[in-house]
Amino acid sequence: MISATVQDAINEQIKAELHSAYLYLAMAAYCEFVNLKGFAQWMRQQSREEVTHAMKLFDYSHDRGGRVRLQAIPAPPAEFNSPLEMMEQTLVHERKVTAMINNLYALAIKESDYPTQVQLQWFITEQVEEEKNASDIVERLKMIGEQKPGLLLLDREMGARSA
């Protein structure tokens, strides 16, 4: 059975993953509004992935005899000054999620909760990918600057992302 301390931390992580999904869906709405359909598609896919992450923790908690208690999710921002600002916020957010997962892993070590440590290995690896993807896009947007043709090419590339 999972300890109450670890369960509470997992519940916080579930909230963070669902908040991520909500944030990326808000970003997709912004992208649709400014006619960046590829960015919107990319953000929709990100949102779906975050829900999958939350459900992975949800199911794990139940498998260990835990009790998931869902919490309120704050409203995400609806406006961004540019695609670059939006992606910079994405990178900051992913780094925050990484820190939360690292803290959860440290708690699992402290509690000698070996199954949770194993479960979190997947999340740690996933966060390396999430941060790299966001960082790569930020750097490409910085290279593009104000050049609309470059932005449109990147938008097309992002729209080609498969599940």
Q: Per residue in 10-46, pLDDT tens? A: 999 999 999 999 999 999 999 999 999 999 999 999 9
Q: Provide the residue count of the chain.
A: 163
Please tell me the distance from the alpha carbon of residue 61 to that of residue 120, in angstroms, as a whole number: 12
CATH number of 4-159: 1.20.1260.10
Mean pLDDT in residue range 53-75: 97
48 CB burial (10 A radius; 0-12, 13-18, 19+):
middle
Q: Per residue in 133-144, pLDDT tens? A: 999 999 999 999
- Do 94 and 21 form a contact (C-beta atoms < 8 A)? no
Residue 161 — very low, low, confident or very high, per pLDDT cuts 50/70/90? confident
Residues sharing a CB contact under 8 Å with residue 66, sequence separation 6 or more, in sequence order: 1, 2, 7, 10
- For the chain, give the mean pLDDT: 96
Could you tell me the CA-to-CA distances from 104 to 7, 63, 66, 99, 132 in Å, in that order? 10, 18, 16, 9, 21
Residue 163, pLDDT score: 60
Q: Report the predicted TM-score, pTM, of the whole model to 2 decimal places.
A: 0.94
Residue 54 — very low, low, confident or very high, per pLDDT cuts 50/70/90? very high
